[in-house]
Amino acid sequence: MDPPRTITIGISGCSSSGKTTLARLLRDMFPETFILHEDDFYKTDSELPIKNGLVDWDCPEAISIPDLEDALAHIHATGTFPPTLDSKEDLNSVGPSPASPSHIAACTARVQNWLSPGQPGSLIFPSNLTSSSPSPSSPQPPQPKKTKVRLCLLDGFLLYSPPHFSRVMSLLDVKLFLRVSKAKAVARREARDGYVTLEGFWKDPPGYVEQIVWPNHVEAHRWMFRGGEVEEEGGGSGGGGGELDWEAVRREGISVMDGGADREFGEVLEWAVGIVMGKMERIVLGGQGEGKGRVEG
């Protein structure tokens, strides 16, 4: 049996921008979906670089990028999670969902409607059984349909950081970027208990976000913002953030929600669901039945 076609969807942005939360929600809404975490490709503790006297977990040099590239190539070829990868990221809690139950229910219902008979999603994810009945000339019972498509959600903080991640970017069919202000990134990350790692457990030392996480985020994503200004001094409209270079972003096929950083997470979820459905329709169906009202930067 031929392997299913696999669509890879990157979800990137600064640490604590909501990537993992969004990936888990989308996984629960869409069928045939699994998550690959960039954090599962960290190098060993002894290989991590040092910056400002602190271990730097938030730079490209901390990630085994060739292994991540190989994992994506395997997923494209087979539609399956790499069998030798032992995920540690799923052991980390992301806390309660910032999306309200009503937002989650509405988005789930929207996906279910999209998957219903006669809708575009039903062509991408066919039902488990064929609709044909046995006939005298062909008395066999209905056979399971092969799944046309699987979805792999890649959750990572530096996925759109050329040249280090240029091949990773080329292996992604859909690219979502989540914005967050420095203030909110600091508050969210400092509220976390810590992280399970290959060799134990890591908790950020004091000042880690200000000295490591945010400067690395700015340096990696300057190319996406006019004048390289990732966040305006004193914040800006919509919770802070510089002005996106939309031409550069669109040239790389990256979808960003308009309206600045720190959008209400329920709105981010609604936006992401619409983008995923619209992109799937374009990729798999060539635009047939493409929905309306999708907001995409």
pLDDT value at 234 more than 50: no
pLDDT tens string 138-171: 445 444 455 589 999 999 999 999 999 999 999 9
Q: For the chain, what percent of residues have pLDDT higher than 70? A: 79
pLDDT tens string 183-215: 888 888 777 665 555 555 567 788 888 899 999
| Single pTM value for the model | 0.84
Tokens 């966040």 identify what position? 231
The active-site residue, picked from 2, 39, 58, 155, is 39
Are 124 and 148 contacting, i.e. CB atoms less than 8 angstroms apart?
yes
Is the torsion defined by CA of 9, 14, 15, 21 positive or negative? Answer: negative
Give yes or no: 258 in active site: no
Does residue 117 have a cis peptide bond before it, meaning omega lies within 30 degrees of 0? no
pLDDT tens string 94-105: 566 788 899 999
Q: What is the pLDDT of residue 175?
A: 97
